[in-house]
Amino acid sequence: MNDPYQVLNISPDATDEEVKHAYREMARKYHPDNYHNNPLADLAQERMKEINEAYETIQRRRRISSGAGAQRQTDGYSYQTSSRDPAMQQVRLAISRGDISLAERLLNSTAVHHAEWNFLMGIVCSRRGWMDEARRYLETAVQMEPGNAEYHSALAALNNEGYRPAGFRGVSTANYDSSVCMRFCTAWLCCNLLGGGGCFFLPC
Amino acid sequence: MFGYIRPAAHRLPAQETERFRTAYCGLCHTLGKRYGFAARFLLNYDFVFLVILLSDGTEAACVSCRCAAHPLKRRCAMAGQRALELAADHSVVLSWWQLQDQIADHGFWAGLPYRLAALLLRRAYQKAGARVPQFDRSVCRRLSELSHLEAERCASIDRAAEPFASLLAEIAQHVDEPDRRRILQHILYHLGRWIYLIDAADDFAGDVKSGCYNPLRYRYAVAGDELPQEVKQVLAQTLDESIRQMSGAYALCDYGVWTPILDSIFYDSFYGIGQAVLSGSYHKPTRRELFRIKQRDEEEPL
């Protein structure tokens, strides 16, 4: 295993408080909620495991009682592979295997578009990066079956802000401070350009 | 690529903007060295961003050099990185096909400047195409996919963005380490999607006037030549989703010395540029303005 201090990106003489802080920050960064329905979820899970192990090793070495640490966040979301409808069951299995095109083919060959169909279509779109359609399908699924927690949590995951380091929180396209934006838009002055590159003959 | 992405300078210390400039100068010199003087004019910020994404995060060597834009002052340019060569090859191929697309879209007279540019770039394109033949073929194929979607007035923004997004994702093939390749693929896919949608929002009024296809017009059934406020809200939301996909993938990868610059881009710039484009305060400077700004810049060095 790698040096646990290196994994948490801190020096070996960091205080207990610093260790805890570094661990919390990283756990926030790789939290499963940030990688909901994301094709890179397995990599994030690996990272999460690494930092959990690193943190535990450091704790053990420093003989800190286990109750003092930050809460462990290993498993957040596990994809349900069971369904009452056998056709949808097939789709769920295909998604859990990562075979998105098979899942899509199966969905397209189904005539009845009930709530679960919309939900699974939303998952397929979101795995492919088709975020606009994903949202529409998931919203339809929630509308058709408002009591279903699985559909709700998938839709909520789309609205999850994800990890941001300190100082960058709460920024979004819709609420970006436009006074900062003005400074930012002239930022390119700092770098001397050779006449704006290709833009002038590629007015796309 | 259209030159949207730049670091948020107000978030960065001077040494980091200087580092970004070395990548910028480095790419410009690589384009010149590999493809001749004309190819230098293809340089834009998005390709510099690509250099950074393709680099391995170690401190790059710098060479001091002069160029036509700054004949008197010697500048430090990044050199000897495979990322520079890869970005240069791909930018030449991409720009060539973009030119071809413009030639096809415009009539004889309006298309003349593009024809001239294509003439100047012909040799460069042939060389670059031979270096990345697979990419060259994909661009050609994806562009024809896109023109089919345009012809059928596709009302799905995801489907319309797919060809350009997948195209960019293919550049990740050149990364050897499998995990890093997957991460970069994901970043580049959503980068392509974001650029495509931002460009569609930016060109909305022009496209409506000229009758060109614009995916936003069909997706949101907009009647006029301006995007209504509520459409902008929904569009901002879907742009944010792509940015979060990118930053989530970026968090999984160590970019070494580029971390402060990439942090500012992934956690700030994308949102700021999106806001500027949607609110109409973003605009591409004209040649004349650039010249004026460059003069002012030289008078009062920052």
Q: What is the pLDDT of residue A73?
A: 41
Put simply, the answer to whether B281 touches A178 (Cβ < 8 Å) is: yes
| Span of A38-47, A128-137, A189-198, B45-54 with lowest mean pLDDT | A189-198
How confident is the model over B67-114, as pLDDT tens digits? 777 777 788 888 888 999 999 999 999 999 988 888 887 788 888 888
Pick the more confident residue, B111 or A136: A136
When pLDDT is cut at 50, 70 and 90, the band that residue B38 belongs to is confident
pLDDT at B66: 79
In this prediction, residue B283 carries a pLDDT of: 66
Query: Which superfamily is assigned to A86-158 in CATH?
Result: Tetratricopeptide repeat domain (1.25.40.10)
| Pairwise pLDDT comparison (B228 vs A166), residue with the higher score | B228
pLDDT band at A204 (very low <50, low <70, confident <90, very high): very low
pLDDT recorded at residue A202: 25
Residue A30 forms contact with B (CB below 8 Å): yes
Check B242 against A129: CB less than 8 A apart. yes
User: Is A181–B276 a contact, with Cβ atoms under 8 angstroms apart?
Assistant: yes
In a domain, B2, yes or no: no
ipTM value for the complex: 0.82
Residue B296's pLDDT is 54
Question: A105-114, A180-189, B141-150: which has the minimum mean pLDDT?
Answer: A180-189
* Residues of A whose CB is below 8 A from B103: none
B284 touches chain A (CB under 8 A): yes
Write out pLDDT tens, residues B175-234: 999 999 999 999 999 999 999 999 999 989 988 988 889 999 999 998 888 899 999 999
For the domain covering A4-68, report its CATH number: 1.10.287.110
Neighbours of A183 (CB within 10 A): 13
- Please tell me which residue, B245 or A195, carries the higher pLDDT value: B245
B209 touches A at CB < 8 Å: no
What does the angle CA B53 – CA B59 – CA B61 come to, to the nearest 5 degrees?
A: 105
| pLDDT for residue A174 | 86
Q: Is residue B205 part of a domain?
A: yes
pLDDT digits (tens, 9 = 90+) for B131-166: 999 999 999 999 889 989 999 999 999 999 999 999
| Residue of chain A nearest B295, judged by CA positions | A192
pLDDT tens, position by position, B115-135: 998 999 999 999 999 999 999
Decide if B139 is inside a domain: yes
Q: What is the mean pLDDT of chain B?
A: 88
pLDDT reported for residue A194: 32
Report how many domains make up chain B. Answer: 1
Domain that holds residue B224: 133-253
Residues A114-132, mean pLDDT to the nearest whole number: 94
B29 touches chain A (CB under 8 A): no
User: A128: which chain B residues are within 8 Å (Cβ-Cβ)?
Assistant: 158
Helix (H, G, I), strand (E, B) or coil at A146: coil
Token duo for residue A192: 């001397």
Same fold, A4-68 and A86-158: no
| Residue from the list A40, A135, A181 with its beta carbon closest to the beta carbon of B275 | A181
| DSSP string over chain B | --S-----GGGS-HHHHHHHHHHHHHHHHHHHHHH-GGGGGG--HHHHHHHHHHS-SSPPPEEEEEETTEEEEEEEEE-S-HHHHHHHHHHHHHHHHHHHHHHHHS-TTTTHHHHHHHHHHHHHHHHHHHHSHHHHHHHHHHHHHHHHHHHTT---HHHHHHHHHHHHHHGGGG--SHHHHHHHHHHHHHHHHHHHHHHHHHTHHHHHHHT---HHHHHTT--SSS--HHHHHHHHHHHHHHHHHHHHHHTTS--GGGHHHHHHIIIIIHHHHHHHHHHT---PPPHHHHHHHHHHHHHS--
Contacts of A202 in chain B (CB under 8 A): 2, 95, 98-99, 102
What is the per-residue burial (b if ≥16 Cβ within 10 Å, else e) of B133-153? eebbebbeebbeebeebeeee
B259–chain A Cβ distance below 8 A for any pair:
no
A117 at interface of B, judged by CB pairs closer than 8 A? no
Residue-range domain boundaries for chain A:
4-68, 86-158
Percent of chain B with pLDDT over 70: 93
Q: What is the pLDDT of residue A30?
A: 92
Quick one: pLDDT at residue A192?
A: 34
Residue B99 domain flag:
no
Q: Is the pLDDT of residue A182 over 80?
A: no
Assigned domain for B4 exists: no
For residues A92-116, give the mean pLDDT.
91
**pLDDT for the residue A72:** 43
Alpha-carbon distance B274 to A185, whole Å? Answer: 11
A174 touches chain B (CB under 8 A): yes
Q: How far apart are CA B154 and CA B142, in angstroms?
A: 15
For residue A84, what are the contacts with CB-CB under 8 A and spacing of at least 6?
none
Please report whether residue B158 resides in a domain: yes
CB within 8 Å of chain B, chain A residues 61-90: none
% of chain A exceeding 90 in pLDDT: 36
B216 part of a folded domain: yes
In a domain, B233, yes or no: yes
pLDDT confidence of residue B234: 93
Taking only the tens place, the pLDDT of each residue in B252-292 is: 999 999 999 999 999 999 998 899 889 887 765 555 555 55
